[in-house]
Structure 1
Amino acid sequence: MNKVYCFYALHYLFVLNSVLCRRSLAPFDVRIDHHKVETTNDLIVNTPRPRFSWKIPVSDDALQRNIHQAAYQIQLESIKLTAIEKPFRWDSECILSSASIHVPYTNKNDLLPSTYYRFRIRIWTTNSNESSQWTDWIQFRTPIFDLYRYIINEDDLNWIGSTKINMNELRKEFTVPNTSPVKSAFAYVSGLGYYEFYLNGNKVDLSRKLDPGWTTYELRTLLVAYDITSNITIGTNAIGIKLGNGWYSQEQHGESAYGPPRLLFTLFITFMNGDEVKVFSDQTWTGREGSIKHDSVYNGEFYDSRNDRPNWARPGFNDSLSAWIMPDLLPSPVNMSLGGIIIVQDMPPIRAGNDALHFEVSTDEQQRSYLKAEELGDIKGARLADGGVLKPINMWSSDSGLIIFDLGQNMAGWCRIKFRGPPGYGVYIRHGETITLPDIATNRSARNIYTENLRAATASDTYVLRGDPAGEVYEPTFTVHGFRYLSVFAPPNALTKDDVECPFVHSETTLKGSFSTSNPVVNQIQHNIQWGQLSNIMSLPTDCPQRNERRGWLGDAALSVDEALYNFDLIKFYQNFLNLIVDVQRPDGQVPNFVPGNSYPADSNWGTALPTITWQVYRHYHDLLTLESYYNNVVQYVEYLHNVYNTTGLVNFPIRYGDWVPPPPQPMTNKHLITSFGFLHDVYLLINMSQALSRKEDTNTYTILYQKLAEEFHRVFFNSSINSYADGMQAAQALALALPGVVPANVRSAVVDKLVADIRQNENHVTTGIVSTAQIYPVLSDNGYHDLALELISSTTYPSYGYMFTNRFENATTIWELWNAPLTGPGMNSRNHIMYGSVGAWFYSHLAGIDLSSNVLTIRPRMASEIKKHLMSKLDCQLSTLYGRVHVSYTRNEQDTAPKSILLRVTIPPNVQARVMFEPLFPGAQCQTLTENKKTIWSSHTSMMNVREFIVEKDSSNELMVVHVGSGHYEFHASWQ
């Protein structure tokens, strides 16, 4: 756009707004290709046409409202060029646009591979007469885009390892000539199953663990890109790679195609004069068995530190005590005939400790201006903000002589333990989620850790001391445990709590949601959900982190994705998981029950992960490209279900798992109804996707199909003799009510009444499994029974979420797999499962009332009646969106003179329009006055209010009050009679 025209257009806009301010701060929280630049050290953009997002800064002045972006400018240029490379610069110039998320790179030329770039952004807003400051220049680099083609065409590049010995340490020395300054040194590493990368004696990325991400290796193997330019020295350099079995081991899967660890490595060093040095994995490397004698994800690690060679990855290393031999050339894990690829890992890695979790919202009670510490209640477990490393809160000697440490929090990770003892002394360490129950006959507890629920996983580590007189610290390398307790058998020295620290380990992410209320039961559930979710993001969403399973179950992932995206920034994580699903999608459209895996066909409530995750990622990030990328796969999957339906109808729609693990002794409701729900749910999602993408023909096709299925669902499953669905159980009613247009208007109230009656009959408890539990809370809130939903979530008797941490046996700090875990056998009894964590989405969508599903943000906290207001009289919720932080906080009956009232504080970020909705506080209530910052903006005694900034509407059908607002901080007070 012509700069002169842009200047006059902006000048007109600013005069129109009559606001003159000094130059504003620069945009912040900048993202490129969804990567958060503030928390990414080596920023790699794996696309030649990236997109940009940023947030608009505002001052602390609470009077600044209705701020919108008027224009933006992006400048991008190549840097660190060799003598033969041509400089590149792109300037978008001033673009009149309010777009601040997913803004495209619009230059006609693609970005080049293996190139450094930098960019900066500035904006114009409606509250300033000049541009903002520029952001600092932000550097990134591109990898080799067509990496697999390069690899298969490079004859000197091979996978190496050994079929003869446990070759888990490999090294290679190379020389860097002093002919020209080094411009760049890019390494690409894939060590299967896991690896660690050392250069010149130092680990390249200290907190990076369990690389690369777990995939169906024959179809997709991930290669990790490193910029090691600053680590390279002139002269001799040395590379060291440690290898672990990881998920590539036959021990984990019994996969005959998998085998011993192997390495693919390439290093490109480019000099300023254009010369190159390449280092490949080949038979010029040497390898040996290192200190790790055995490693297993399930069964832990055996580490003999007497085999440590401290300088093994340094130049000039000479080992007179070990045999370093030439590695074998091993076959690639990738099956080209199946379309397999090797590709750069484009999601955050697994990390340990404080590098694993970043924060966009506060979790500190002292920062909550609207909830006091005593109102929050005493939260059991560790705080996320404490640094990601847990210390024991207690220790004791068990009846069997073990030293037991209690971390006070169930988690995923491992421990660093300090030992001092003679060389060759072996220490056995075991992990567990709980301790043994008391003996009924003697009422005594052995206070040993309970490991039977780990099934075939030993979850144990063995460490053999080297005898360092100064002491030594053991920390596992290629395993991970799910645990709260650890036992140490016969340590060589007396241990104290200070000798143990345990890093929390999970895929790197950012906390973007914070939710607390005056209801301590809900606060503990929220705590348990967040810790359970983090424990189960380990390069892919797992079901549990402790036993011999830890698979990417699609059902668990589908149920938890909405909750996970409210709490954590995980778009790259879930895009990777969607890739894993479509990798194994069969030509007829079916997907398995878990990935990696071949459990075909999926139960419909498991296969729904493909459409559900696609839709939820779009809903939370408003990223149409995600819909476009996976839309055809979703259509293919829905058509597979459609073809199955054409054979079976809904009445016999196939079942595998159904409404998994309802609370004993409750049975499962009609299983075909449950799987039919999954089918209808996915057809409805596909209609929404096609509308978002303007696929009108598909919208029409699947709307007709859905209407047919909705009529059939009611006809087949409605039981007119009891005026409810199937056998009248809660699950059947909740699932039917959750499907739009299924329950006819003339029976809807009867179905809702049946659901409520069954809950009351069960003394205000659920009888639902994982599929219907995810639906029952929003169904109750949306159908006039929000009080009952609050009673259910506040319950502490069996079966309930509250029972998990108030029973007399054990206090949960994560979500259980089973409602009655302490009273059930070990076969399937995880204490850290995320599938029931689905209720966390209802916390944000209904209790805080934040709805992200449209371009207009909706804030509609669901209100308990005056009778039940004690269940939730205060709430505080923060949610960091791509536009900025949304803050919702309310206090019931805040003023003694207005007993039936609510004080609602709302913060809306810039560039956002919102509608704030006030629900009646009791049946039949009507709003009397609505004030903002103590100024009346609506009154029932005045036919019209003329208040600048606010458009107030009253919905006479349900007495809702609706206020339309722009960005800013607002304090509303609504009184009801």
Structure 2
Amino acid sequence: MFYVRYFSTLLLILLWSANDAHNFSLFDIRIDHWKINTRRDLVINTPKPRFSWKIHALDDILHRNIQQIAYQIQIYSVKLTQQDELYQWDSERIISSQSIHVAYTGHHDLLHSTFYRFRLRVWINNSVVACKWIEWIQFRTAIFNLHEYIINNTDLLWIGSTEINMNELRKEFNVSNASPVKSAIVYLSGLGYYEFYLNGNNVDPSRKLDPGWTTYEKRTLLVSFDLTANISVGMNAIGVKLGNGWYSQEQHGKETYSPPRLIFTLSILFENGDQMQVLSDQTWLGREGSIKHDSVYNGEIYDRRSDRLNWTRPAFNDSRSAWITPESLKSPINDTSVGLLVLQDMPPIRAGSDALHTEVMIDSLEYGYLNHKDLGNIKGASFADGGIIKPVDMWISDSGVQTFDLGQNIVGWCRLKFQGPSGFGTYIRHAEILVQPVVSTNHATHNLNTENLRNATASDMYILRGDRLGEVYEPSFTIHGFRYLSVFGAPNYLTTDNVECLVVHSETTLKGHFTTSNPIINQIQHNIQWGQLSNLMSVPTDCPQRDERRGWLGDAALSVDEALYNFDLIKFYLNFLNLIVDMQLPNGAIPDIVPGGGGIYPADPNWGAALPKITWQLYRHYGDRQILEDYYDHVRAYIENVRSGYNDTGLKNLFWRYGDWLPPSPFPRTNEHLTSSFAFLHNVYILLNMSQILEKKHDTDIYSLFYQQLAEEFHHVFFNTTSNYYADGMQAAQVLALALPGVVPPTIRNVVLNYLVNNINLNGNHATTGIVSMAQLYPVLSDNGYHDLALEMISLTTYPSYGYMFTNPYENATTLWELLNAPFLGPMSSRNHIMYGSIGAWFYAHLAGIDLSSEFITIRPRMASEIKKHLMTKLDCQLSTLYGLVRIAYTRDERDTLPNSILLRITIPPNTRARIIFEPLFVGGQCEKLIESDTVIWALDNTTIINHQKIEIEKNVATNLMNAYIESGQYEFQALWI
């Protein structure tokens, strides 16, 4: 049997070598960061796009060392008057291994408002034959000068009404040209939200709560649609529903916001070169539709009796409503010299299955690395549910109200099926939690507890039309964060089949999957991912349920690294950086909340850190130098603003507002000036690194000296020489000092570490840190010889701990809490906050040990010692990187005959190399033997280097670490330690 398998494998390898060009393909092709396979209408907002792609071997097991040696890209523009195409750019064969951010280098920039098609192919290794061209991919360019185009078109109006709640607008137009339609492109913005219909159909049904939230007077987003295939000869009808969204006084208190308004332009080009336009002007008609009131916080009132079923179709005639001429309203951009009307260049918010794509295998069991016993019983929903959640339980509470439990804290709304008489009203209430049983009687009412929603009613009211066959209701212009919903006064008894709830968030792709044999870690990972999705709502928010839901920069700064490991969010965060920059003052200051409304200048330094941290983490995860170039000056201006305050106070009294926010009760916050100083130094260090990458030598010299000065001052000001700890001796102060490079002198580093560890031990291995220091705690422990302790802490289920959120006797969390003792608090107790999600980055960077920041991928799984191995004996991690899937799976002592061993399965994507670092499994341990695919490639008693599959082995004598340098492909290593 062995010989049959051997010769079959050999034959496959020979066939591949002879015909390698046909054994691999390209996938995850991107243009201007857009994933082409997730775009129905690919719109590029730059005349010089860049391209990225990944290489897929048809048989990853056999193929190793796949390296691109050349590529070719061709772009053609589609002529407006003929079916043929015009050559735009042919890169020809470029000798290069580059497969990310490949720049367009044509002699002429791409034209705006033009359709293009591109294709590409690559060559690998020594092949003289390229892979097959990918199929032609069509994209179009936007109006690059959209702001000028809008403001210079005097016939184009913002329309709406100050007299009535005009939330439905319609317009009919006639297409009488005998020539076929070549293109029909719309740009529109409906503030605060809109839904767009053409000829009776919702143009993009899963697209919700559009456009994205901004500081509207600074930046208002317009959305573009390609309607070429949807325009009919003869009469056509446009319908637009409007909602208040964030553009309302109810949300902001700004008198300049509201009422809802629309701007719309449709440009139709015909094959014969003729053109026609349909603009928002006073030839439209509007009325108050079925939505009588809508609010982000307070839900929606919907009267189905006011529906006009065909109002978005041509030849619609309504004898029961008053359709009136809309008014010409002011643009949200009050000052066109400081405000912009721009294309929404990020994925929209979507509902249901269209909201989340996947690049990883959700079920690790398919690979057999983990079994159900390993995973534990994860509470909550699965991404495999497709974004639609059904209730897991239903009951009638003491007050006679039907209540449903989704089993998962989500953000979105529910579709409810009703049947009853016309005019019958029903009321739907949402909540994250239930009223706790009365202590004296232990009696549970199973009623909703809405105290932590504060002033947000989070409720919808629906009035039936009385359809004989029943009717379905779901909101249009509101959003709820909830696990439970109660239906008051339903006309019919509702079963769980009458309820389905849509998960709603900014469209994204799941790119990370992380499971272990530790069920506590698995549940935390589940809660992080669901909590992160809940707070992707065109901006990164803090929480989704109460009267807040704001873009707090502290939450965004703390969670961005984790978010970028789990989800593909480059367009999302680039948009957010623009929103931060919109709010930056000439002196460099930024507020602590973005978009505008409630933010205070200047931001607490750990909140303002969002600007440098998001910029830096986007670069780390996407390797795009252009991001650093685009935001460098803004980051520098912000840091110089903090520096101006520092010049007056020094680090000892540096400005703060929130400090190390919300440490677990009863522990106080550590010295707030130290916490602010940590942020200041951390941000200067980021800027220093940015200047080095961008080769800004003058700035590098300046900030190197400045950082050294600050590091010395930090130690001098905050270190207590009598007690040998920093500041007040709190865990947080030690963690933040240790996390900063060069702050703690080498001579006392172990003293500070020992003090920190002793303090943790005295507190039963519990952390007493707030959100700022919690993000640094686990990496500091793992990087300084206390990884066992970090694993013990993350595995705790007693208060205060992550595990307590879902093992306490009161509630079982499926997202992250705002406070670790949430059941005992009132209004300040969100059950879906992302600020503690920072721990998720430690899962990928330390437990799986993935480092993508160097010229090759470094993988160094941090495992517990042999003594503590029960904490995590198995791990399986997938991460979709810029080059393809990286996968790490390990098992401790898999074979009884091989104790003190690690079985490590690795997948390295094509066009990359990797360094695998094997750590000793116990103090003083030495690697006895290193095996790959049943072949011994290194042995302690044999100094001969074994040449096996081009694997290079290197032993670090000082640390006993074993390094294996490998090419792309799949590997199975066995490391034995003595």
* Structure 1 match to 2:860: 860
Tell me how far apart the structure 1 counterparts of residues 244 and 39 of structure 2 sit (CA, whole Å). 28
Per-residue deviation, residues 602-631 of structure 1 (Å, max 9, x unmatched): 000000000000000000000011111101
* Aligned equivalent of 1:829: 829
Question: For residues 25 and 966 of structure 1, do their structure 2 counterparts lie closer, same or farther at Cα, with a shift above 3 Å needed?
Answer: closer
* Contact 2:189–2:262 (CA under 8 A) maintained in structure 1: yes
How many angstroms apart in 2 are the aligned matches of 1:532 and 1:30?
A: 29
Secondary structure of 2:86's aligned partner? coil
- 1:650 is aligned to 651
Corresponding letter in the other structure for 2:673: H
**Which residue identity does 1:574 align to in structure 2?**
Y
Per the alignment, in what secondary structure is the counterpart of residue 472 of structure 2?
strand
Query: Partner letter of residue 721 of structure 1?
Result: T
The amino acid of 1:263's aligned partner reads L
Structure 1 runs, 4 residues or longer, greater than 3 Å off:
17-20, 83-86
Shift of 1:23: 2.6
Task: Determine the C-alpha separation between the residues in 2 that align with 1:330 and 1:211.
Answer: 20
Which whole-Å deviations, capped at 9, do the CAs of 1:401-447 have from their partners, x for residues lacking one? 11100000001000000000000000000000011101112211111
Secondary structure at the aligned position of 2:440 is classed as coil
1:638: how far off?
Answer: 0.8
Answer whether contact 2:911 2:968 (CA < 8 A) is retained. Answer: yes
User: By how many angstroms is 1:21 displaced?
Assistant: 2.8
Q: Secondary structure at the match of 2:56?
A: coil
Partner of 1:920: 920
Report the CA distance between 1:947 and its aligned residue. 1.3
What is the aligned partner in structure 2 of residue 515 from structure 1? 514
TM-fit CA distance, 1:87 = 2.5
* Alpha-carbon separation, structure 1, partners of 2:737 and 2:445: 48
Q: Is this contact kept in 2: 1:162–1:328, CA < 8 A?
A: yes
Following TM superposition, by how much is the alpha carbon of 1:641 offset from its aligned partner in structure 2, in angstroms?
1.1
Note if contact 1:19-1:128 (Cα within 8 Å) is conserved in structure 2: no
Query: Partners in 2 of 1:618 and 1:571 — Cα distance?
Result: 10
Partner of 1:970: 971
1:233-382 matched pairs, under 5 angstroms: 233-336=232-335, 339-382=338-381
Equivalent AA in structure 1 for residue 946 of structure 2: N
Cα deviation code 1:2-29 (max 9, x no counterpart): xxxxxxxxxxxx99x9876353333111
Cα distance in structure 1, aligned partners of 2:698 and 2:553: 29
Aligned partners of 1:19 and 1:129 also within 8 Å: no
Q: Aligned with 2:246: secondary structure?
A: helix
Letter paired with 1:424: G
Deviation string 1:121-168 (CA, Å, 9 cap, x unpaired) is 100001644110111111111111101101111110010000000000
Q: What's the CA shift for 1:335?
A: 2.6
In the TM superposition, what are the counterparts of 1:416-427 in structure 2 within 5 Å?
Answer: 416-427=415-426
1:67 and 2:72 aligned: no
CA contact (8 A) 2:915 2:963 kept: yes
Mapped partners of 2:126, 2:789: distance in 1: 46
1:343-492 correspondence runs (5 A): 343-492=342-491
List aligned pairs for 1:668-679, cutoff 5 A: 668-679=669-680
Root mean square deviation of aligned Cα: 1.4
Relative to structure 2, which stretch is displaced further, 916-925 or 931-940? 931-940
For residues 368 and 897 of structure 2, what CA distance do their matches in structure 1 show? 23
Q: Distance in 1 between matches of 2:387 and 2:77?
A: 37
What is the TM-score when the length of structure 2 is the normalising length?
0.97
Equivalent position amino acid for 1:662 in 2? P
1:42 touches 1:226 (CA, 8 Å); kept in 2? yes
2:609 aligns with 608
Letter in 1 for 2:174: T
Question: Alignment partner of 2:653: what SS?
Answer: coil
1:778-824 Cα offsets, whole Å, 9 max, x none, are 00000000000000100000000000000000000000000000011
- 1:86 positional shift: 8.1
Please report how far the alpha carbon of residue 338 of structure 1 lies from its aligned counterpart in structure 2 after TM superposition.
5.0
CA contact (8 A) 1:615 1:685 kept: yes
Letter matched to residue 503 of structure 1: L
| Separation in structure 1 between the aligned mates of residue 793 and residue 918 of structure 2, nearest angstrom | 23
1:199 maps to which residue? 198
Q: Percent identity?
A: 66
SS in 2 for 1:595: coil
Query: Does the aligned pair in 2 maintain the 1:905–1:971 contact within 8 Å?
Result: yes
- Deviation at 1:347? 0.2
- Aligned residue type for 2:922: F
Separation of aligned partners in 2, 1:217 and 1:918? 52
Give the SS at the match of 2:613: helix
> What is the rounded CA distance, in whole Å, between the counterparts of 1:387 and 1:63 in structure 2?
34
Q: CA deviation at 1:930?
A: 0.8
Say if 1:25 and 1:133, in contact at 8 Å, map to a contact too.
Answer: no
1: CA distance, partners of 2:626 / 2:738: 31
User: Is 2:794 the partner of 1:793?
Assistant: yes
Alpha-carbon distance in 1 for matches of 2:552, 2:350: 22
Equivalence for 2:138: 139
Q: In structure 1, what is the Cα distance between the partners aligned to 2:116 and 2:336? A: 36
Q: CA deviation at 1:946?
A: 2.9
Whole-angstrom distance in 2 between the partners of 1:943 and 1:905: 25
Give the letter for the 1:247 counterpart. Answer: W
Give, as a single letter, the amino acid of the residue that structure 1 aligns with 2:866: E
CA–CA separation in structure 2 for the residues paired with 1:91 and 1:338: 39
SS in 2 for 1:248: coil
Matched-pair contact (CA < 8 Å) for 2:122–2:131: yes
**Residues 359-368 or 29-38, more deviating:** 359-368
Q: CA deviation at 1:670?
A: 0.6
Q: Find out whether 1:584 has 2:583 as its counterpart.
A: yes
Change (3 A) 1:646 1:295: same
Alpha-carbon distance between aligned partners in 2 of 1:35 and 1:831, rounded to the nearest angstrom: 33
Verify the 8 A CA contact 1:291 1:308 in the aligned structure 2: yes
1:825 partner amino acid: G
Q: Contact conserved, 1:655 with 1:671, CA < 8 A, in 2?
A: yes
Deviation per CA, 1:553-596: give whole Å up to 9, x if none: 10000100000000000000000000000011001111100101
- Number of equivalences: 962
Question: Hey, what's the Cα distance between the residues in 2 that align with 1:354 and 1:30?
Answer: 22
Q: 2: distance between equivalents of 1:342 and 1:303?
A: 31
Q: 2:903 corresponds to which residue? A: 903
Give the aligned residue type for 1:676.
S
Aligned pairs (5 A) from 1:99-114: 99-114=98-113
Q: TM-score, structure 1 length as denominator? A: 0.97
Q: Residues 712 and 275 of structure 1: is their aligned pair in 2 closer, same or farther, counting only changes over 3 Å?
A: same
- Given that residues 21 and 123 in structure 2 are in contact (C-alpha distance below 8 angstroms), is that contact kept between their aligned partners in structure 1? no
Aligned with 2:628: secondary structure? helix
User: CA 1:85 to 1:109, structure 2 compared with 1: closer, same or farther past 3 Å?
Assistant: farther
Structure 1 unpaired stretches of 5+: 1-13
Which residue of the partner structure matches residue 637 of structure 1?
638
Rounded Cα–Cα distance in structure 2 between residues aligned with 1:189 and 1:672 = 47
Counterpart of 1:120, as a letter, is R
Correspondence for 1:594: 593
Whether the aligned pair in 1 keeps the contact of 2:856 and 2:912 (CA below 8 Å) is: yes
1:851 and 2:847 correspond: no
Aligned to 2:725: 724
Residue 620 of structure 2: SS of its match in structure 1?
Answer: helix
Instruction: Give the partner amino acid of 1:960.
Output: L
Question: Hey, what does 1:8 align to over in structure 2?
Answer: none
| 5+ long unaligned stretches in structure 2 | 1-12
Instruction: Tell which deviates more after alignment, 851-860 or 330-339.
Output: 330-339
Secondary structure of 2:43 counterpart: coil
Q: Which amino acid aligns with 1:842?
A: W
Q: Structure 1 residues 171 and 569, CA, compared in 2 at 3 Å: closer, same or farther? A: same
Task: Indicate conservation of the 8 Å contact 1:20/1:127, yes or no.
Answer: no
| Displacement after TM superposition at 1:365 (Å) | 3.9
Letter in 2 for 1:759: I
| Equivalences for residues 123-162 of structure 1 within 5 A | 123-126=122-125, 128-162=127-161
The AA in structure 2 aligned to 1:158 is L
2: distance between equivalents of 1:898 and 1:818? 44
| Alpha-carbon displacement from aligned partner over 1:815-841 (angstroms, at most 9, x marks no partner) | 000000001122x11000000000000
- 1:95 equivalent in alignment to 2:101: no
1:35 maps to a residue whose letter is W
Distance 1:480 1:400 in 2: 26
CA separation in 2, counterparts of 1:467 and 1:922?
A: 72
Query: Which residue in 2 is equivalent to 1:881?
Result: 881
Given that 1:67 and 1:127 are in contact with CA atoms closer than 8 Å, whether structure 2 keeps it comes out as no
The 3 A distance-change label for structure 1 pair 478 and 960 is same
